[in-house]
Amino acid sequence: MQLEIQMRTFRKPLLLGLSLILGVLLTLPANAAQYKISLLTCDPGDELYSTFGHTAVRILELESGQDLVFNYGTFDFNTPFFYIKFMRRTLDYQLSLTTTENFLREYNYFKRNVREQELNLSQEQSQKIVAFLQTNYQPENRKYRYDFFFDNCTTRITDMMETVLGESLKWNYPSENKNKTFRNLIDEYVYTLPWSDLGIDLALGAVIDREATEAEKAFLPDYLEAAFERATIIGDGPERPLVSQNNLIYDFPETRGTGINLVNPYVIFWTFAILVGILTFIGFKKKRLFKGFDITLFTVLGLLGILIVFLWFFTAHSQTKNNWNLFWAFPGHLYIAYLLFRKPNKAILKTLLLAAMILADIALIIWILGFQSFHPSILPLLLIVILRTNFLYYNLGRFSTLNKRT
């Protein structure tokens, strides 16, 4: 669900004309015209905000030729405290309205494929959908509290179809459900963006490691498109497909690179782990602690832990709860860093190092037992934490006379 942001360079010349069109549309009774209604599915883009694609509804008024797109995936950058609200999930998204030409211009500019599914609706059903969207577009109705999995630009269209068509809509979900968790579904789209994949796995908790039903999978545009293709309409005559015709609006050559990018977390973290192993071996042989490294390590892990705690307890994101990355990236590591820097001989330090070691071991167990799927690239980080806490726990006192040299 792309965080659709209409580009200002595209919008300004159209504002006056679009305002006139919208005024006519919103004052036109829904039952006074015939419509062709389509689902638009837009392929993912290269940036994180567009990684999962996008969905919108196209309404073509046949008599006048008015061709508009209703888009549930927009928000206002001018919202006060925009970034704070975005992080805490208190930013409202809204239904926007634009011309089809303006909507498609962005996808043409970024060379993103767009497919159209014309819906096989009766005139009455089409009019009800138009009336539903007109009502949703009223200022008091157009805003909603976005949820990535359960209330987004794609699920809103599912809700619209089920509200308007009711029991006449038959989804025909496949009998053999391919077991996929919500995390698996996300991974299908971010595997080409390893750093983004890592960030998502660090931020989202165990709540997304449950299996998604076929209906829940349709939070992604591609899955909704497939659901529309299977769906049928019943109850007003012979059963008929929901989609009457498929149109390929844009079909650009594949541009995503397929080569191996060595600057990815797997290569970086494993290389880092090997270097830390060598550093630890040298420290053991030369009876040196290299505390400066550990102070930096535990500071970074502690700060990451604070971010995890913030996302878990101080935001409205349901997907960031129960995040057991907290066991290895723990805010208390900041205190370990402080003691290593200021009071390395304090007795509690060894207790905290032992606790950090145990927590990292617990994180591994949680991962192995499947309570939460961690990003594979963090394995070397877990090994580093276990190695360094073990090294410091057993050697901090033994090498204390040499601490001033580190």
Half-sphere exposure of 190 (CA within 13 A, CB side): 20
Query: Is residue 215 classed as helix, strand or coil in its secondary structure?
Result: helix
Q: Report the pLDDT value the prediction gives residue 88, as an integer from 0 to 100.
A: 74
- Element spanning 154, H or E: none
Look up tokens 């913030």; give the residue: 310
- Calpha distance 155→163 (Å, rounded): 12
- Calpha distance 159→218 (Å, rounded): 11
**Token pair belonging to 291:** 């505390």
With beta carbons less than 8 A apart as the criterion, state whether 406 and 292 touch: yes
pLDDT in tens, the chain (406 residues): 543 434 333 344 444 444 444 554 444 454 556 999 999 999 998 887 789 999 999 999 999 999 999 999 987 767 776 666 666 777 788 999 999 999 999 999 999 999 999 999 999 999 999 999 999 999 999 999 989 899 999 999 999 999 999 999 999 998 877 889 999 999 999 988 899 999 999 999 999 999 999 999 999 999 999 999 999 999 988 999 999 999 999 999 987 655 677 889 999 999 999 999 999 999 999 999 999 999 999 999 999 999 999 999 998 888 999 999 999 999 999 999 999 999 998 999 999 999 999 999 999 999 999 999 999 999 999 999 999 999 999 998 887 655 454 4
Distant-in-sequence contacts of 236-244, Cβ < 8 A, 24+ apart:
236/122, 236/168, 239/170, 240/120, 241/120, 242/119, 242/120, 242/169, 243/39, 243/117, 243/118, 243/119, 243/120, 244/118, 244/119, 244/120
DSSP label of 40: E
Of 115, 99, 231, the residue nearest 173 (C-alpha): 231
- Calpha distance 323→48 (Å, rounded): 22
- Element spanning 250, H or E: strand 243-250
* Residues 23, 123, 53: CA angle, nearest 5 degrees: 65
Q: Residue type at 193?
A: L
Q: Residue type at 292?
A: G
- Calpha distance 153→157 (Å, rounded): 7
- Element spanning 118, H or E: strand 114-119
Q: CA distances (Å), 394 to each of 51, 72, 353, 397, in order?
A: 46, 58, 10, 7
Q: CA distances (Å), 245 to each of 117, 142, 163, 248, in order?
A: 6, 29, 23, 10
**Token pair belonging to 30:** 């829904």
Of 399, 397, 384, the residue nearest 284 (C-alpha): 399
Q: Report the pLDDT value the prediction gives residue 223, as an integer from 0 to 100.
A: 97
In whole angstroms, what separates CA 388 from the centre of its chain? Answer: 33
